[in-house]
Amino acid sequence: MDSHEETRTVELPRRIVDRVEDRLPRTEWDEPEEYITYVMEEVLYRVEKETADDDFEPVDEEEVKSRLKSLGYLNE
């Protein structure tokens, strides 16, 4: 975490902080805040990437069926 970066305080359940502290010895981070920041950035990156990948136009199912039928793929 950039030491010059503006921060805010967020409250977390003690059980989460305890789990983070238990994991710290097996990570490259020394402080829970550093590890939590890393985890949150990773999760947000994946969620934002997934959301960006979902940007498609909805298609009318009946229109698709009609096109497939006209092309001979459906025999309804």
| Residue 20 structure tokens | 């983070």
Within a 10 A sphere around the Cβ of 23, how many other Cβ atoms? 13
Kindly report, residue by residue over 10-49, the tens digit of the pLDDT: 999 999 999 999 999 999 999 999 999 999 999 999 888 8
d(CA 21, CA 15): 10
Comparing C-alpha atoms, which of 70, 5, 59 is closest to residue 37? Answer: 5
Question: Which pTM was predicted?
Answer: 0.61
